[in-house]
Amino acid sequence: MEKFSGKIWVLGDDIDTDIIIPTEYLALKTVKDMAPYAFSPLRPELAAQIQEGDIIVAGKNFGCGSSREQAPEIIKTLGIKCVIAKSFARIFFRNSINNGLLLIENDKLRDVVNEGDEITVTINESIEHNGSQYPITSLPQNLVDIINAGGLVKAMRKLNGLD
Amino acid sequence: MGSTIIEKIVRNNVGRDVKPGEIVTVNVDRVMIHDIFIPFVASKFEEMGFTKIWDPDKAVLIYDHLVPASQVDDTRHFRIGNEFVEKYGMKNIHRSDGICHQLMTEAGYVKPGDVVFGTDSHTTTYGCVGAFSSGIGYTEMASILGTGTLWIRVPETIKVEITGNLPANVMAKDIILKLIGDLGADGATYKALEFTGDTVEKMSVASRMSMSNMAIEAGAKCALFTPDEKTAEYCEIELTDKERDLVGDADAEYCRVLHYQAEDFVPVMACPSNVDNVKPVAELAGKEIDQVFIGSCTNGRLEDLMAAAEVLKGKHVAPYVKLIVTPASRKIYRQAVENGTMAILAEAGAIITHPSCGLCCGRTGGILTDGETVVATNNRNFLGRMGTSKVGIYLASPKSAAACAAAGKIVVP
Amino acid sequence: MGKIFKFEQDVDTDQIIASQYIIYPTIDEMKAHTFESLDPDFAAQVQPGDYVVASENFGCGSSREQAPSVLKALGVKAVVAKSFARIFYRNAINIGLPVIVCKDLHENVKAGDDMELSMQEGVVRVNGKEYECTRLPEYMQGILDQGGLIASLNKS
Amino acid sequence: MGMTIAEKIIAAAAGAESVKPGDIHTVELDRLMSNDGTTHLTIDMYHQLKNPHIADVNKLVWIVDHNVPCDSVKTAASHKKMRDFAKENGIKFYEGAGVCHQVMIENHVTSGELIFGADSHTCAYGALGAFGTGVGCTDYLYAMVTGHSWLLVPETLKFNLTGKLKEGVYARDLILSIIGMIGANGANYMAMEFSGEGLKTLNMSDRIAICNLCVEAGAKTALMEVDEITLDYLKAHGREPKYSFKSDEDAHFAKVYDIDLSTIKPIVAKPHFVDSVVDAKECVGTHIDEAFLGSCNNGRLEDLRVGAELIKGRKVHPLVRFLVVPASAEVYKQALSEGLIDTFMEAGAIVMNPNCSVCWGSCQGVIGENEVLISTGTRNFKGRAGHKDSFVYLASAATVTASAIKGEIATADMLE
């Protein structure tokens, strides 16, 4: 099973899509242009601090609000390897998988970690933090396939014999 | 063991019994794309390498957010949409007939038991006729257009039973607002809502639509009503046995059951800036307002306009207050002309626009500024949704909204 | 001395400042969009003391006072044209932006030329040549001299 | 020496025996109209005055009509400023009641009045024999504070109308023809006066359309002789004339044009000038993206009837956006009761609330890059209806409606 480690950023409950990317920046041309403003209503400095391979750990209802697909695209563009939350809003969950952003549901981790900790994720198995293991429900194979393909567009290109 | 409505719909679609939590691939009966997302859907579709739509007749394109255009780049969406329709042989396109969710049911695109997806979070609306419908992003829409299928996780169901007779000044909107207040903004996330009881059985399809439309504001995946004779009449069909069977079985498993007595409901409003911040209108009475908006896929239907007209007949909108009326569809507009509703609203001083999303999507249609207060019949009151972040948005029923317009302040209808 | 920004005939008020901007709360917020469709760089390039030179019927169209106001706010010293549309003319005088009729200037100058205007003598000087201008009626010169119509209100 | 109508109104307003072109007079104003295009700036200037006050609040009428319903937070702030000021000072205030000039003519203007409007198409009031002229907000503020203003007495051009417009030809074709003939500055600083037997054949709606567009020839004002039609209109709206002036026999006119109405043909003004007029037939076949029936120029009941009659039983071309926007709430209500609104809705038109709409081109029905609009609005300047690289053709309600049906510029006689 694929295994990776990363430094974590810790966020609270109900991180809505307007916090992930406020409407006023949605008109910018590309997701790359929008990325510096990610999480700006809450933590304006955060986008600049995130490093490739970092992990977000959040509370419940992450990604609630509108169906804007830019939200997961931006998180991915910032280099976030995966988001671990107590729960995810439905449309955000789908949009993330489709854009190849890994989401993991776990209702205990958020309450024991501190920002800056390092954790290790073994996909479909567990999260390791300070020697403790937190099991993760395995994602169905079709979703793993989409993520592994790098998102739905790439998966479909493969299906159509293009890549 | 019995099944809930959503379990039956999915079972009928995939041809075997399913249980909540399971991931299955469904065959899609209909999809809806609106003008805001068509450029993205079109480019993703081609990037994926598809050369034809799996079944062009099952796709519907509706221009509603940008009608009429308010910014110079808006018509680009129409141009791209028109090209897409032409290139892939789509026939179902509405360029100025009203709001997508209204047209999907009104124009007969959705039938009981159908599995439908749309590029809009309020796609939950079609549960009013017993269809499973839900909002998705534009990338997934592109893949459905190519494959005709989508994976879904079978949701658990929350049953909401309402019995008894509603007070005269209470509308379906008051019920759904109260429910969202009770459930909270994520109280139904991933879950299906199922409405039952003699109160909803007595409701028109239009009223049911207001409720299924707003289910997303509690996070729900879908919100379902059992198809009945009213549904059949609305959809202009005869119900089949399979459709009649779309009822939650007595021994079905629900993750939660809520019961409400209709007589207990009072007019309520969702206060700034969360849909679950719900309070009785009586507690808010007296607050001065600047504008009233009656319209949207939540409450822009004939019965809503008629309810407003009944309140406003022989009265006039209060001085310095604007009443903006945006019917949900061309058909509704014409019916309201025909039965005299429009004349009453016009006489009362309403600003009546063409059917479209209007103010609800916050691009035009009555934008407000700092310190202003609006009472609106639509579905969201998020910070900044209708102008600056210092605009107070109160969501209400058409009856409450009309009464406020006449009074110039919040009043109990 | 100021530089010439040259325009042709029938420059209407929508070209000077388009409808979508005139509703902006203040002239300062609008001025960056001056002449946006005819010369998108105008607002960035014009310096205080520069001139707008045009042919016939400058400022035709709407009564929006924002048109002369954005020119004044950008520091345009005067508009010199073969003729002006009347509402623009009146508005310009009222806000204290000199509008000068000069029949011969337009054909004989090009954009970027240095120009000098003497209102008192009623002449403009460009490239070593002098061009005579039509003098303002005394009444209007009076309004200009006191700094526009509002200034006269504050005096009385 | 006799006087023209314009001279008589100025003389009365100046308290002078007689006036002559070129004189500058201080005049007492009867009415002051302002709309949301500039009022926010007027208010800002008002607050900067040393001694802010209003000479006679009863003369003021403020109308929100340009961006209705409101389309942006900036517009909303401007509207709020205007609404709050009107409320505080007791100024007659309309919002959403229709285009300012139509609202003024329906409710306020009467013959012989001298009216400043902070909008160039204020010259429309000449249809009722009133001297209406467009001014900027500084002029407006000065008049608001003092009750008077300065006015240069204009020369008058006389248009002596004879004959009758042919079937399928409208007042709008007439005024566009006149503007084409005299040019975009052909009446600059002047008054345009219309009289003659031909005038009697034109109803009030025709007359408003004619006077309204005179500013596109540069005119300071437009005036028509007061006659039975004027008096009937005033009476029906519960008003009396202030004066019923006619030009004297020996009045001086800068020029007199004789126009036989029967010679007028359907006209189109091509992009980007109102005086670029051609026979409508020359534009037939030009692709269009949008059509607009409305505005203070051509959004009255009579215009809607013309459009509705043509489109009844037909459909708007699927790729054309056909905006129908009544000029006022009164017009809307009448059109509703006559069934015109339903006819347009049945045909697939987009029927908007009474307001300036795409004629003003900043918020409703704006057109995109390289798009083409055929319009009954007042102007076809470059970028007027949206993108700077877009195109506006002006034509009558009949030509606009026929084009909306065909999907390209067409005249009404081309409909099967």
User: Cβ–Cβ of B366/D69 closer than 8 Å?
Assistant: yes
Secondary structure E strands in A11-160 = 55-58, 82-85, 102-105, 118-122, 126-129, 132-135
Q: Hey, which chains touch B, using 3+ CB pairs under 8 Å?
A: A, D
Q: What is the pLDDT of residue A110?
A: 96
Q: What is the pLDDT of residues B150-161, one digit of tens each?
A: 999 899 999 999
Give the CATH number, domain containing residue C143: 3.20.19.10
Question: From the CB of residue B161, how many other CB atoms can be counted at a distance below 10 Å?
Answer: 17
Q: Which chain D residues are closer than 8 Å to B68 by Cβ? A: 321, 323, 350, 352, 358, 364-365
Q: Considering CB atoms only, which of B47, B48, B135 is closest to A91? A: B135
Strands A132-135, A126-129: pairing is: antiparallel
Integer Cα distance of D104 and D85 in angstroms: 20
Which residues lie closer than 8 Å to A53 by C-beta, 6 or more apart?
A: A4, A6, A7, A79, A81
Integer Cα distance of D131 and D207 in angstroms: 14
Q: Residue B344 — very low, low, confident or very high, per pLDDT cuts 50/70/90?
A: very high
User: Cβ–Cβ of A156/B40 closer than 8 Å?
Assistant: no
Question: What's the gap in Å between the CA of A69 and the closest CA on chain B?
Answer: 6
Both tokens of residue A132? 């403790």
Integer Cα distance of C113 and C135 in angstroms: 23
Best B64, B70, B71, B72 residue to mutate vs chain D (most D CBs within 10 Å): B72
Q: What is the CA radius of gyration of chain C?
A: 15
Q: What is the pLDDT of residue D277?
A: 97
Q: What is the pLDDT of residue A29?
A: 66
User: Cβ–Cβ of B49/A152 closer than 8 Å?
Assistant: no
Give the CATH number, domain containing residue A78: 3.20.19.10
pLDDT surpassing 90 at residue A108: yes
Q: Which chain C residues are closer than 8 Å to D361 by Cβ? A: 14, 19-20
pLDDT surpassing 80 at residue A138: no
Q: What is the pLDDT of residues A44-71, one digit of tens each?
A: 899 999 999 999 999 988 988 777 888 9
Cβ atoms of residues A12 and A110 within 8 Å: no
Q: What is the DSSP letter of B185?
A: T
Q: Residue C120 — very low, low, confident or very high, per pLDDT cuts 50/70/90?
A: confident
Q: What is the pLDDT of residue A141?
A: 83
Integer Cα distance of D368 and B39 in angstroms: 15
Which residues lie closer than 8 Å to B157 by C-beta, 6 or more apart?
A: B4, B5, B6, B7, B20, B191, B192, B193, B194, B248, B252, B254, B255
How far, CA to CA in Å, does B168 sit from each of B171, B216, B309, B400? Answer: 8, 27, 15, 12
The chain D residue lying nearest B347, using CA atoms, is D333
Q: What is the pLDDT of residue A27?
A: 60
User: Cβ–Cβ of D185/C57 closer than 8 Å?
Assistant: yes
The CATH H-level (homologous superfamily) assignment of domain D5-262 is Aconitase, domain 3 (3.30.499.10)
User: Cβ–Cβ of D138/C149 closer than 8 Å?
Assistant: yes
Both tokens of residue D399? 């030509």
Q: Hey, which chains touch C, using 3+ CB pairs under 8 Å?
A: D
Cβ atoms of residues A127 and A109 within 8 Å: yes
Q: Residues C127-156: what's their mean pLDDT?
A: 86
Q: What is the pLDDT of residue A42?
A: 86
Q: Considering CB atoms only, which of C12, C20, C63 is closest to D134? A: C63
Q: Of B306, B317, B303, B316, which is closest to residue B340 (Cα–Cα)?
A: B306
Integer Cα distance of B52 and B252 in angstroms: 41
Both tokens of residue D293? 């029936």
Q: What angle do CA D317, D318, D323 make, to 5 degrees?
A: 70
Whether residue C62 has a cis bond before it, omega within 30° of 0:
no
Which residues lie closer than 8 Å to D350 by C-beta, 6 or more apart?
A: B67, B68, B96, B354, D321, D322, D323, D324, D365
Q: What is the pLDDT of residues B176-230, one digit of tens each?
A: 999 999 999 889 988 999 999 999 999 999 999 999 999 999 999 999 999 999 9
Both tokens of residue D354? 């009474």
Bridge partner residues of B323 (DSSP):
B292
Q: Hey, which CATH number is domain D268-414, 3.30.499.10, 3.40.30.10, 3.40.50.1260, 3.40.50.300?
A: 3.30.499.10
Question: What's the gap in Å between the CA of D58 and the closest CA on chain B?
Answer: 18
Q: What percent of chain B has pLDDT over 70?
A: 100
Integer Cα distance of B413 and B311 in angstroms: 8
Distance from the Cα of residue B226 to its chain's centroid:
17
User: Cβ–Cβ of B137/A143 closer than 8 Å?
Assistant: no
Encoded amino acid at D367, one letter: I
Interface contact C66, partner D, CB < 8 A: yes
Both tokens of residue B12? 């009928």
Q: Of C89, C96, C22, which is closest to residue C59 (Cα–Cα)?
A: C89
Which residues lie closer than 8 Å to A116 by C-beta, 6 or more apart?
A: A7, A8
Work out how many CB contacts closer than 8 A connect A with B: 88
Domain containing A89 equals 3-159
The chain D residue lying nearest B390, using CA atoms, is D73
Cβ atoms of residues B121 and A67 within 8 Å: yes
The helix/strand/coil state of B371 is coil
Integer Cα distance of D365 and D24 in angstroms: 42
> Where does CATH 3.30.499.10 sit in chain D?
5-262, 268-414
Number of domains in chain C: 1
Please report the DSSP string for B33-71 in residue order. Answer: EETTTHHHHHHHHHHTT--S-S-GGGEEEE--TTSS--S
How far, CA to CA in Å, does B37 sit from each of A45, A152, D159, D200? Answer: 31, 17, 55, 55
Q: Of C150, C133, C140, which is closest to residue C51 (Cα–Cα)?
A: C133
Which residues of chain B are at the A interface, by a Cβ-Cβ cutoff of 8 Å? 23, 25, 40, 44, 47-50, 119-121, 134-140, 142-143, 146-147, 151, 185-186, 189-190, 219, 221, 382-384
Encoded amino acid at A24, one letter: E
Residue whose token pair is 């697909």: A69
Q: Which chain B residues are closer than 8 Å to D76 by Cβ? A: 367-369, 372, 387-388
Bridge partner residues of A42 (DSSP):
none
The chain D residue lying nearest C64, using CA atoms, is D136
Residue whose token pair is 């950008």: C74
| D/C Cβ contact: 3+ pairs below 8 Å | yes
Integer Cα distance of C76 and C27 in angstroms: 14
Cβ atoms of residues A33 and A74 within 8 Å: no
Q: What angle do CA B254, B115, A15 make, to 5 degrees?
A: 65
Q: Of B152, B57, B44, which is closest to residue A160 (Cα–Cα)?
A: B44
Number of domains in chain A: 1
Integer Cα distance of D290 and B354 in angstroms: 16
Integer Cα distance of B127 and B158 in angstroms: 14
How far, CA to CA in Å, does D400 sit from each of D206, D229, D332? Answer: 17, 28, 19
Q: What is the mean pLDDT of chain B?
A: 96
For chain D, residues with pLDDT lower than 50 are none
Q: What angle do CA B33, B38, B40 make, to 5 degrees?
A: 125
Question: What's the gap in Å between the CA of D304 and the closest CA on chain B?
Answer: 16
Cβ atoms of residues B11 and B18 within 8 Å: yes
Question: From the CB of residue B206, how many other CB atoms can be counted at a distance below 10 Å?
Answer: 22
Question: What's the gap in Å between the CA of B94 and the closest CA on chain A?
Answer: 22
Q: Considering CB atoms only, which of D69, D79, D365 is closest to B365? A: D69
| Terminal Cα-to-Cα distance of chain C (whole angstroms) | 35
Q: Of B114, B10, B108, which is closest to residue B60 (Cα–Cα)?
A: B108
User: Cβ–Cβ of D40/C25 closer than 8 Å?
Assistant: yes
Pick from B290-294, C33-37, C107-111, C146-150: least confident: C146-150
B317 burial type by CB count under 10 A (0-12 exposed, 13-18 middle, 19+ buried): buried
Q: What is the pLDDT of residue C154?
A: 85
Both tokens of residue D129? 């024999």
Both tokens of residue A18? 């307007």
Phi, psi dihedrals of residue D129, rounded to the nearest 5°: 75, 25
CATH topology match: B5-262 vs B270-407:
yes
Per domain, the residue ranges of chain B are 5-262, 270-407
Question: What's the gap in Å between the CA of B138 and the closest CA on chain A?
Answer: 7
Q: What percent of chain B has pLDDT over 90?
A: 91
pLDDT surpassing 80 at residue A28: no
Find residues 357-396 of chain D whose CB sits inside 8 Å of chain B.
358, 363-369, 371, 386-387
* Reported CATH class of domain B5-262: alpha beta
Encoded amino acid at D148, one letter: H
Q: Residues C77-94: what's their mean pLDDT?
A: 94
Q: Which chain A residues are closer than 8 Å to B146 by Cβ? A: 156, 160
Integer Cα distance of C143 and B254 in angstroms: 82
| B132: enclosing H helix or E strand | strand B132-135
User: Cβ–Cβ of D362/C85 closer than 8 Å?
Assistant: no
Q: What is the DSSP letter of B21?
A: T
Q: What is the mean pLDDT of chain C?
A: 92
Q: What is the pLDDT of residue A61?
A: 87
Question: From the CB of residue B316, how many other CB atoms can be counted at a distance below 10 Å?
Answer: 14
pLDDT surpassing 70 at residue A23: no
Question: What's the gap in Å between the CA of D325 and the closest CA on chain B?
Answer: 10
Q: What is the pLDDT of residues B295-330, one digit of tens each?
A: 999 999 999 999 999 999 999 999 999 999 999 999
Q: Which fold has domain B270-407?
A: Aconitase; domain 3 (3.30.499)
